[in-house]
Structure 1
Amino acid sequence: MPPRRLLAIAASAALLSSPAIYAGTGNKKPKATLDGSEVVCPLGTFICAPRPDNFALCRPNGLLEFYDPFLSKDSSLRNTAKTFVWADHVESPDQTLYHLTGHVKTVRADQELHADIADYNSDTSDYDARGNVHYQEAEHLLSADHITGNTNNSTGLATGNVRFQMLDSHGNGTAVRAEQLDANRNRYSVATYSTCDIGRHIWEIRAKKIDTDENTGRGVAHSATMNMFGVPMFYSPYMSFPLNNDRQSGLLYPYFEHTGEAGYQFRIPYYFNLAPNYDATLTPRYYTLRGSMLSGEVRYMFPKTSGSFAFEYLPNDQYNDQRITPTSFDTQGSQRYLYKFVNSTSVWPGWSLGTNISRASDQNYLHDFGDDLFTVSTTLLYSSMYLYGAGNWWSAQVGGDIWQNVEPSVPNSVEPYRRLPRAAFNMDIPFWRWYDVGMTSEAVAFHKPDSVEGSRLDLYPYVDADFQGAAWFFRPKLAYRYTQYSLDSGYQGYGFYGPISAGTPSPYTESNPSRSLPIVSLDQGLIFERSTSLFGSNYTQTLEPRLYYLYVPYRNQNNLPLFDTNTMDFDDWMLFAPNQFSGSDRQMNANNLTAAVTTRFLDDGGVERISATFGQIRYFTPQKVQVPCSGTGYSCTAITNWAGSDYVAELSSQLNDQWTMSTEYLWNPNTRKTELGTFTVQRRLGFDGILNFSYRFREGLLEQYDVSAVYPLTARWRLIGDWTYSVMDKRTVEAVAGVQYEGCCVKMSVVARHYVNGYDGVITTLPAGQIGPGSDTAVMFELEFKGMGALSGQTDNILRRDILGYQ
């Protein structure tokens, strides 16, 4: 081989094996896309996932000018790849020192180096590149006037007009001096760092020293100042930031807010990435009206257990506000707290222990510290603990449930019965070709102060069959329900809704009442298909008539307590339900026939584009089993003697990916009134805009309009709005207005929210002298620096709940 070629190969190998500052690591993490590509949230999704950092708004091809898009991105090929060298002149006076001059270029795998002059010592592995030095590899770009280093030690030094860019994180900056400490650690002196466009830094970190570590994916700035538009915002002697999208310990985005119940609020979370399988977040908060609070969350995942623990703690409430009702206590000087513990543990194969505990210090907590309608309208906190088991044909659970009242305008007597203990066992065993035999069962003890208490055993064995073909089905079912009670002593002193006065007869005539009855049902239907066209497109249309017959004999159940049972609102799914009551304390009598028909339009890909259903139940006997009226004992029970149920009509459509619509209508032919009416339409506006309109009506309960939108003004600016109005109460239930800006490297949100306190669907009128459900206003401001964290902000969490399709 000619000496000149050997000389070139030796020099290039020395320069590329481990160059200063820009050496990579052999264990690469997954790369983040530069354009921030994302999947648009599908129409109709209830809560959309947070959007990842999107750098598509950055300057196209906003990389250092020498970036080569055709260079390989696979760094694993370096050890075996050939090295190619170009230079105008190569010389070696002693076969140890090599000197390359004039347009020096070397390429190996994902590495490429350009310089005016390069020297290499083959004995010491020292190298020296000078003049317009440009370097590129899979994850880094670097330019400097002068780079020296040692390939064996993976060390180096770059000086003079140092510029660097990290392709994984979109981070870039400048430095007076740059050092390579080893193959994975770099140090930049008198440096800047930002994820904004090169030369257009809206924000940047200016530091005396910045250390980066590829192993941890973390950067640390010492004696650092955060600047926006060149103006210093704050100083920190130590500032940590991520170099990729991996979980990293560090400060998260600060959050500012104002509410009437808590005043101005400032919070700044700190995230602890403790281990791959557990982490923690601590959030110090300060409320100008109430004082300092500490909140946090711990998450963990181990081979046999996983869960989380979240808490909020205020040691001393400083605010003496007016309570909503006299049932509430003065919280000034009190400790206030809220915690939630969720855990799932595998006990042994087929069995697991599930825990869900939520408790507050008092019933005013969510009202005082909630900052959205979703929180302040929560009336009960639910807690449970169950041991779950399951097999091929059975499932079981043993545990209990309790509730806590967190609605300050009502007394604690509204809390449901505590179900301690509670056990349930279900089985479904197939036999022969078409048949199943099974049972649902429950045994539970009920506890509640100033109410009748006792236990209940409910057994529901059945035999059913499922005969079906491609265009038909026939499903008979025969069941038997037996319910046995054991009431505690003193049951004679209670009615359905609490203690009764002397001389008033009690509905409970015996300590061990029971109920038993058969339940027979027959479900059958046909499915017809045809090819058709609609709006110029081809579809497969189905026509699906269905009949459901239900027979349940009448049993007088006025002597049975009401532990966890109430009448369910009539809806489309109740056309085919064997009971109109929740819980086991009441079983409806029935001699009913449901007739319904559904038609669907399916496109060539099998996607349902239009669906319409119409149906009604015909009653051949009166509906005698009813739930007693609240507060009036059992004398107000009335028999419903209707020939038919509400007519149920439903229609939904999504002819394309830009809009979807659904509506439901219930009309009572007996009262000739509309019982329920809903209408929802959603329209996509551009790429990330959305427009929603909905109307909800339930006779005697609510009538509301809701309009919400995310309207993109430009690629960077969008307006946020939501308005919910109650016709019955003649007032706005909630209003949200805000503006969001998203640039290449920064996001900003300013959102104002006005909402009703203590609202649970109906705004009730309280006696004179009491403060009723009023209103509150929260103003939230959030600033996010892209590439400095991966946690969505507080405003995003609230808006995803309020606006259907928000992302």
Structure 2
Amino acid sequence: MKPKSLSPSRSLPPRRLLAIAAAAALFSSQGVHASSQTKHPKATLNGTEVICPLGSFICPPRPDNFALCKPNGMLEFYDPFLSKDSALRASANTQVWSDHVESPDQITYHLSGHVKTIRADQELQADVADYNSDTTDYDARGNVHYQEATHLISADHITGNTDNSTGLATGTVRYQMLDSHGNGTAVRAEMLDADRNRYTMATYSTCDIGRHIWELRAKQIETDDTTGRGYAHSATMSMYGVPFFYFPWMSFPLNNDRQSGFLYPYFEHTGRSGYQFRIPYYFNLAPNYDATLTPRYYSLRGAMLSGEVRYMFPRTSGEFQVEFLPHDNYNDQKLTSTSIDTQGQQRYLYHILNNTAVWPGWSLNTNITRASDQNYLRDFGNDLFSISTALLYSSIYLNGSGNWWSASVGGDMWQNVDPSQANSVEPYKRLPRATFNMDIPFARWYDVGMTSEAVDFHKFNQVEGARIDLYPYVDADFQGPAWFIRPKLAYRYTDYSLDGGYQRYSYYGQLGSGTTPFTQSDPSRSLPIISLDQGLIFERSTSLFDTHYTQTLEPRLYYLYVPYRNQNNLPLFDTAPMSFDDWMLFAPNQFSGADRQMNANNLTAAVTTRLLDDGGVERLSATFGQIRYFTPQKVQVPCTTVSNSTVAGCTATTDWRGSDYVTELNTQLNDQWTASTEYLWNPNSRRTDLGTFTMQRRLGFDGILNFSYRFRRGLLEQYQASAVYPLTERWRLIGEWTYSMLDKRTVEALAGVQYEGCCVKVSVVARHYVTGYYGVVTSLPPGQTAPNSDTAVMFQLEFKGMGTFSGQTESVIRRDILGYQ
């Protein structure tokens, strides 16, 4: 007998859609779906992703990549030509094929032999199927296969009821999630309702089907699509068939949405705190606010509790972080002059960040960070950034802005967290502080504006007082396609009101430190500032290495005139000389802050050339320039001598005819490498003041090579090299080395190996780093011993789709190797 089939023109009524197709739909989202507990982008199955742009320093984490999995690794009945649009189900007809169809009463249907049904994105195959259109009970038996847009499932036997959205699958149950690469097996699968499912003796993995490197096995797994959570009872995590972690009960996410639950534990060891164990718990309290609570235990110091709260409301957003150790058990047997005895003390660190819209155009911005003591970051920091932080900054400001103006009122302060320095290194507290800036265009070319500041300065055992700084100006911007002229006329007025007892102080402390005391309670300074900035832009077509470019030649002249005013009687509240750099060629002042305004009769001459490809991308730029001084630089920051050493940051009168020669070169001739360099040569001392070179080269798809050299006379000279070298598509080597020439020692070194397979990533990294502030950014002061160092071995294991064990390794590598992804 020829097989009988129901042609597409013979569609069952909507209520009588073949039961098996309707019943199979209840498995549309019931499989165990796991996702990363980190906040990574959603995984892709084809391996496509956005590569971190060349030249980037800090790159975001890559999403889970399953490109290394077996190609076309689907269950054998997968139909790639089936529609992927589930929205068509409501209006689509159901097409049915089978060898035999029986319906004795037009209510009960019995189909047998190669049963196949298709409706939109749903397809069902079985050996035998029965359906009661009155009760909507169904029964499918023998090699039941079901496919939809996001799911595949097979079982020996499926029964259930369509109206109640219930069902039972028994025998050998297999499932696969097409949008997350998750798959597994179960002995029994139940559909409790339209959103909840239960699996008995189930497994789950994101590895290739039949090749589970890692696997989650549980006596029972329940899923709830309304909450996006899965719950496993008596669950065991295994790798290569070897169990390594047991969960009496666990909750895990079914998608990438934020979900409450435990995150993976973290282990580490440091010389200052011993072994550390922490296990975070994440609270998904609402779509617009959440919290993370992290109990910690340090073998040398005791129990610590840390937490983070984030919130986002229509008018306010922010976060609050805190770390609290109620009793420090650590007994430091090697107390030095740069450390304090914290045994038995409370230790804490908190950070408050908040932005609140007060009314239209105005917002209140809070940024507060405080630690219990100077040693906190050294004792509990585990990276070079933390231990090299010298000052914690805190501020509260009410900020407003309009079309032509901006204003702020508030204050800021700092906390010293460098144990090698006294608290006197803290900058002045600026409480209160107010600013007002405006820039009003008029006519066609002109602007009139002003920058202003009023601030009160406070610092123990230093001269204190208030300062107001007014900087009105008028400027113009005349320009055409190939030229510009920008004149500016400004006037600066700065006035002080010093507190009582100002005569007892000099610039660096009390009278007797080597400088003249202050003699006026209300000193002031006023002067005009005139500048003229002008330039030309020439273009021509050229070629280089058989590639066509547009080359520009951009000469530029900047004239600055500021008359000299004696400012030796003005205090130094927040002002210091800035290190000379390329941007200072066109700056009206070489000092930060308002306490000093340089005198000038200067002309800056600079020329820049660029190469632009046909797409307008800048492939090369080079700049050369210098300031020519027509009068001596007389404005000074006074120096004083303490213990036969000169206080850093002072300036003296100079009769230089010219500034450093500044040279810059940036190039990216193709999409594989980029390089930049800056060089400052002092013609007066005939020495190099600054030299930097940075190079980044892409190696294949995910490899990177970095090299940099940094030199600043008297402050820094370092070499740094780092690389991610792909040996194969699965293995890659990683390394980083930073060496200080001033200290003659390695600041940080890192070496490791990474493996990435279909469903796992493994990193083993050894790291050697200094644990003191000195040696990181400057040479050691007289009498200061070399900083201590520490060595750590870090291990990270990631199960794709389930998160990582010891996720700290990834963040360390990303911070140390520029461009790592």
Coarse TM-score class (shorter-chain normalised): over 0.9
**CA 1:491 to 1:600, structure 2 compared with 1: closer, same or farther past 3 Å?**
same
- What is residue 555 of structure 2 aligned with on the other side? 545
Give the Å deviation of 1:252: 2.1
Give the Å deviation of 1:444: 0.3
Give the Å deviation of 1:7: 8.3
| 1:12–1:84 Cα contact (<8 Å) kept | no
- What is residue 761 of structure 1 aligned with on the other side? 777
Give the Å deviation of 1:532: 0.5
- What is residue 583 of structure 2 aligned with on the other side? 573
**CA 1:636 to 1:204, structure 2 compared with 1: closer, same or farther past 3 Å?**
closer
The DSSP-based 3-state class of the residue aligned with 1:9 is coil
561, 578, 591: which one aligns with 2:571: 561
| 1:15–1:151 Cα contact (<8 Å) kept | no
Identity across the alignment (%): 77
1:221-260 equivalence runs, <5 A: 221-260=232-271
| 1:713–1:719 Cα contact (<8 Å) kept | yes
The DSSP-based 3-state class of the residue aligned with 1:799 is helix
Give the Å deviation of 1:741: 2.1
Supply the distance in 2 between the matched residues of 1:712 and 1:792 (Cα, whole angstroms).
Answer: 23
Supply the distance in 1 between the matched residues of 2:616 and 2:505 (Cα, whole angstroms).
Answer: 58
200, 212, 217: which one aligns with 2:211: 200
Deviations 1:540-583 (A, max 9, x none): 00000000000000001000000000000000000000000000
| 2:507–2:515 Cα contact (<8 Å) kept | no
- What is residue 743 of structure 2 aligned with on the other side? 729
The DSSP-based 3-state class of the residue aligned with 2:397 is strand
1:321-720 equivalence runs, <5 A: 321=332, 325-326=336-337, 328-501=339-512, 506-631=516-641, 638-720=652-734
**CA 1:766 to 1:289, structure 2 compared with 1: closer, same or farther past 3 Å?**
farther
| 2:43–2:65 Cα contact (<8 Å) kept | no
Deviations 1:114-155 (A, max 9, x none): 001111111211111111100011121110111111111111
Letter of the 1:567 partner, please give it: P
Letter of the 1:61 partner, please give it: N
Supply the distance in 1 between the matched residues of 2:622 and 2:541 (Cα, whole angstroms).
Answer: 17
Give the Å deviation of 1:15: 2.2
180, 191, 200: which one aligns with 1:180: 191
**CA 1:253 to 1:459, structure 2 compared with 1: closer, same or farther past 3 Å?**
same
Give the Å deviation of 1:637: 6.0
Give the Å deviation of 1:249: 1.8
Give the Å deviation of 1:216: 2.2
The DSSP-based 3-state class of the residue aligned with 2:796 is strand
| 2:19–2:130 Cα contact (<8 Å) kept | no
| 1:385–1:400 Cα contact (<8 Å) kept | yes
- What is residue 38 of structure 2 aligned with on the other side? none
- What is residue 129 of structure 2 aligned with on the other side? 118
Letter of the 1:699 partner, please give it: R
**CA 1:609 to 1:323, structure 2 compared with 1: closer, same or farther past 3 Å?**
farther
Letter of the 2:126 partner, please give it: A
Letter of the 1:334 partner, please give it: Q
Deviations 1:388-439 (A, max 9, x none): 0000000000000010000001111100000000000000000111000000
Supply the distance in 2 between the matched residues of 1:175 and 1:637 (Cα, whole angstroms).
Answer: 77
Give the Å deviation of 1:333: 1.5
Give the Å deviation of 1:336: 1.1
The DSSP-based 3-state class of the residue aligned with 1:588 is coil
Supply the distance in 2 between the matched residues of 1:93 and 1:527 (Cα, whole angstroms).
Answer: 90
Supply the distance in 2 between the matched residues of 1:729 and 1:58 (Cα, whole angstroms).
Answer: 48
Letter of the 1:276 partner, please give it: P
Supply the distance in 1 between the matched residues of 2:365 and 2:804 (Cα, whole angstroms).
Answer: 30
Give the Å deviation of 1:694: 0.4
- What is residue 84 of structure 1 aligned with on the other side? 95
- What is residue 13 of structure 1 aligned with on the other side? 18
- What is residue 132 of structure 1 aligned with on the other side? 143
Supply the distance in 2 between the matched residues of 1:772 and 1:144 (Cα, whole angstroms).
Answer: 68
The DSSP-based 3-state class of the residue aligned with 2:433 is strand
Supply the distance in 1 between the matched residues of 2:682 and 2:507 (Cα, whole angstroms).
Answer: 29
**CA 1:71 to 1:239, structure 2 compared with 1: closer, same or farther past 3 Å?**
same
Give the Å deviation of 1:772: 4.6
The DSSP-based 3-state class of the residue aligned with 2:573 is coil
Give the Å deviation of 1:97: 1.6
For structure 1, which segment, 35-44 or 481-490, has the greater mean C-alpha deviation from structure 2 after superposition?
35-44
Deviations 1:165-190 (A, max 9, x none): 12222221111100111222211101
Supply the distance in 2 between the matched residues of 1:8 and 1:448 (Cα, whole angstroms).
Answer: 87
Give the Å deviation of 1:324: 6.5
| 1:540–1:603 Cα contact (<8 Å) kept | yes
**CA 1:31 to 1:118, structure 2 compared with 1: closer, same or farther past 3 Å?**
farther
Give the Å deviation of 1:284: 2.0
The DSSP-based 3-state class of the residue aligned with 2:809 is helix
Give the Å deviation of 1:717: 2.0
- What is residue 780 of structure 1 aligned with on the other side? 794
- Correspondence 1:291 to 2:305: no
Supply the distance in 1 between the matched residues of 2:583 and 2:230 (Cα, whole angstroms).
Answer: 56
Letter of the 2:19 partner, please give it: A
| 1:242–1:787 Cα contact (<8 Å) kept | no
Deviations 1:433-456 (A, max 9, x none): 100000000000000001111110
Supply the distance in 1 between the matched residues of 2:309 and 2:756 (Cα, whole angstroms).
Answer: 31
Give the Å deviation of 1:163: 0.6
Supply the distance in 2 between the matched residues of 1:495 and 1:231 (Cα, whole angstroms).
Answer: 72
For structure 1, which segment, 416-425 or 66-75, has the greater mean C-alpha deviation from structure 2 after superposition?
66-75
Give the Å deviation of 1:92: 1.7
Supply the distance in 2 between the matched residues of 1:310 and 1:133 (Cα, whole angstroms).
Answer: 53
Give the Å deviation of 1:43: 1.3
- Correspondence 1:22 to 2:27: yes
| 1:546–1:595 Cα contact (<8 Å) kept | yes
Supply the distance in 1 between the matched residues of 2:286 and 2:769 (Cα, whole angstroms).
Answer: 40
- Correspondence 1:54 to 2:65: yes
Letter of the 1:619 partner, please give it: Y
Uncovered stretches (5+) of structure 2, i.e. residues with no partner: 36-40
Give the Å deviation of 1:98: 1.1
**CA 1:741 to 1:252, structure 2 compared with 1: closer, same or farther past 3 Å?**
farther
Normalised to the residue count of structure 2, the TM-score between the two structures is: 0.94
Uncovered stretches (5+) of structure 1, i.e. residues with no partner: none
For the aligned residues, what is the CA RMSD? 2.2
The DSSP-based 3-state class of the residue aligned with 1:801 is helix
Supply the distance in 1 between the matched residues of 2:518 and 2:437 (Cα, whole angstroms).
Answer: 30
Give the Å deviation of 1:323: 6.3
Supply the distance in 1 between the matched residues of 2:754 and 2:292 (Cα, whole angstroms).
Answer: 26
For structure 1, which segment, 486-495 or 792-801, has the greater mean C-alpha deviation from structure 2 after superposition?
792-801
| 1:20–1:156 Cα contact (<8 Å) kept | no
Supply the distance in 2 between the matched residues of 1:746 and 1:40 (Cα, whole angstroms).
Answer: 20
The DSSP-based 3-state class of the residue aligned with 2:24 is coil
Letter of the 1:14 partner, please give it: A
The DSSP-based 3-state class of the residue aligned with 1:19 is helix
For structure 1, which segment, 755-764 or 447-456, has the greater mean C-alpha deviation from structure 2 after superposition?
755-764
- Correspondence 1:746 to 2:749: no
Give the Å deviation of 1:217: 2.2
Give the Å deviation of 1:595: 0.1
Supply the distance in 1 between the matched residues of 2:582 and 2:476 (Cα, whole angstroms).
Answer: 24
| 2:186–2:199 Cα contact (<8 Å) kept | yes
Supply the distance in 1 between the matched residues of 2:527 and 2:785 (Cα, whole angstroms).
Answer: 49
